[in-house]
């Protein structure tokens, strides 16, 4: 029997690239599947994306190919949101992905995309792949909201934010107006329409892989399979394959961060990290820094330099330091306030995994 060959397509941005890289590593190392990853990069100077790809290539047998994304400025409004730009980028990548597949000596039989790349599933049909899947690297709640959004779009009148009662989504806790995803705040906007479209396209796959597990989100997974309303739109199997997390091979090496954590009481340190796209403005950084300092709480803050969502990071450390109140400085341990600030690094997951009982998120 021939070894299965899976093609994984990663959308631009570290928040999409890293989950696909980790999924590819899991498929190849655990299930012995031949994996090819097409990494659609941001198209700009992105050392963090390149570093992540090179690090993954060094520790996995997956074949990883970078494909620069196309310029879509002429396809979106000047004030288009990041989500809209990302979706349009992936839509515009269909010819490039199709050409890349045709050039492969060993043709893939399965395609896996994330929720931003659902339109690429048509490429799988064009080149004769036997199956296509969507990977949701977050959790089952997000999947439930995404596939149920087209239903809400037909039954709810007006803006969701104006509804007094929380929205009821099968398998999830009721969602209040202030808890809505950004993509749901303006129903007339393109990003909302793109989100509804993606919600319709996910069930057109042959199945959905979700980074969760039964013990964590059993009720939501059951609703996706059995709830009368939700299963009516979610007609394909849902496979919980988590937890899939990124780990670092050097976590056990001596490090002042870990030494400091070892000295703290259990569950006494707040971990502050806004993710790969969580870049604050100068003013927001100042406000957050002041709030953390005045709280008197011990904390670890992973602070990103000013950057774009897609990963191009400035190297201006002085600009970061200038945005912090006196007494707070990157990469220094605060003796009085018990704080630790580190500039953004790929080892942020290790801070959580190492002595995780001392940290509350």
Write the class of the CATH domain 256-360. alpha beta
Whether 278 has a pLDDT exceeding 70, the answer reads no
Mean pLDDT of 180-208: 96
Residue 351, judged by CB atoms within 10 A of its CB (0-12, 13-18, 19+), counts as buried
Whether residue 306 is predicted with pLDDT greater than 70 in this model: the reply is no
Domains 5-240 and 256-360 fall in the same CATH topology: yes
Give the Cα separation of 94 and 92 in Å (integer). Answer: 6
Share of residues in the chain with pLDDT > 90 (%): 53
Task: Give pLDDT, residue 203.
Answer: 97
> Mapped to the 3 state alphabet, what secondary structure does 321-343 carry?
HHCCCCCCCCCCECCCCCEEEEE
Q: Does 357 have pLDDT greater than 90? A: no
Task: Judge whether residue 222 has pLDDT over 50.
Answer: yes
Only one residue has tokens 């605060």, namely: 334
Q: Tens digits of per-residue pLDDT, 55-106?
A: 887 777 899 999 988 889 899 888 898 899 999 999 999 999 999 999 999 9
Active-site residues, by number, are 16, 114
Residue 354: what pLDDT? Answer: 63
Confidence band of 313 (pLDDT split at 50, 70, 90) = very low
Ranges of each domain in the chain: 5-240, 256-360
What is each CA distance from 273 to 137, 290, 301, 321, in whole angstroms? Answer: 18, 16, 6, 17
Please choose, from the candidates 106, 117, 189, 206, the residue with its C-alpha nearest in 3D space to the C-alpha of residue 153.
Answer: 189
What DSSP element (H or E) covers 218?
helix 214-226
**pLDDT greater than 90 at residue 276:** no
Who wins on pLDDT, 247 or 196?
196
Using the predicted structure, report yes or no on whether residue 47 has a pLDDT greater than 90.
no
CATH T-level assignment (fold) for domain 5-240: Rossmann fold (3.40.50)
- Res. 332: pLDDT tops 80: no
Q: Is the pLDDT of residue 269 over 70?
A: yes
Q: What pLDDT, on the 0 to 100 scale, is given for residue 41?
A: 86
d(CA 147, CA 134): 12
Return d(Cα 180, Cα 95) in angstroms, integer. 34
């Amino acid at each position: 029997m021939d070894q299965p060959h899976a093609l994984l397509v990663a959308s631009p941005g570290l928040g999409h690239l890293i989950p696909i890289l980790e999924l590819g590593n899991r498929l190849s190392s655990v299930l012995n599947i031949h994996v090819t990853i097409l990494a659609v990069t941001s198209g700009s100077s992105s050392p963090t994306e390149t570093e992540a790809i090179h690090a993954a290539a060094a520790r996995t047998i997956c074949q990883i190919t970078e494909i620069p994304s196309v310029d879509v400025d002429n396809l979106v409004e000047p004030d288009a949101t990041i989500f809209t730009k990302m979706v349009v980028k992936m839509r515009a990548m269909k010819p490039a992905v199709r050409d890349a597949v045709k050039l492969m000596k060993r043709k893939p039989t399965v395609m896996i995309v994330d929720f931003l790349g659902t339109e690429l599933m048509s490429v799988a049909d064009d080149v004769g792949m036997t199956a296509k899947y969507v990977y949701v690297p977050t959790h089952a709640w997000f999947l439930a909201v995404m596939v149920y959004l087209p239903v809400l779009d037909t039954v709810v009148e007006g803006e969701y934010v104006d509804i007094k009662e929380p929205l009821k989504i099968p398998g999830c806790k009721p969602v209040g107006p202030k808890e809505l995803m950004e993509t749901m705040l303006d129903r007339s906007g393109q990003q909302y329409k793109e989100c509804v479209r993606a919600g319709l396209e996910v069930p057109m796959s042959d199945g959905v892989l979700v980074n969760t597990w039964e013990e964590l989100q059993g009720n939501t997974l059951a609703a996706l399979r059995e709830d009368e309303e939700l299963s009516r739109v979610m007609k394909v199997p849902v496979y919980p394959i988590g937890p899939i997390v990124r780990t670092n091979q050097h976590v056990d090496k001596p490090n002042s961060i870990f030494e400091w954590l070892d000295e703290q009481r259990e569950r006494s340190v707040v971990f502050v990290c806004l993710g790969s796209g969580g870049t604050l403005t100068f003013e927001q950084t100042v406000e957050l820094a002041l709030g953390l300092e005045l709280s008197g709480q011990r904390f670890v803050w992973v602070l990103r330099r000013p950057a774009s969502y897609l990963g191009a990071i400035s190297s201006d450390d002085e600009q970061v330091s200038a945005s912090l109140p006196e007494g707070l400085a990157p990469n220094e341990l605060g003796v009085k306030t018990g704080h630790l600030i580190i500039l953004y690094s790929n080892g942020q997951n290790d801070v959580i995994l190492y002595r995780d009982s001392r940290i509350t998120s």
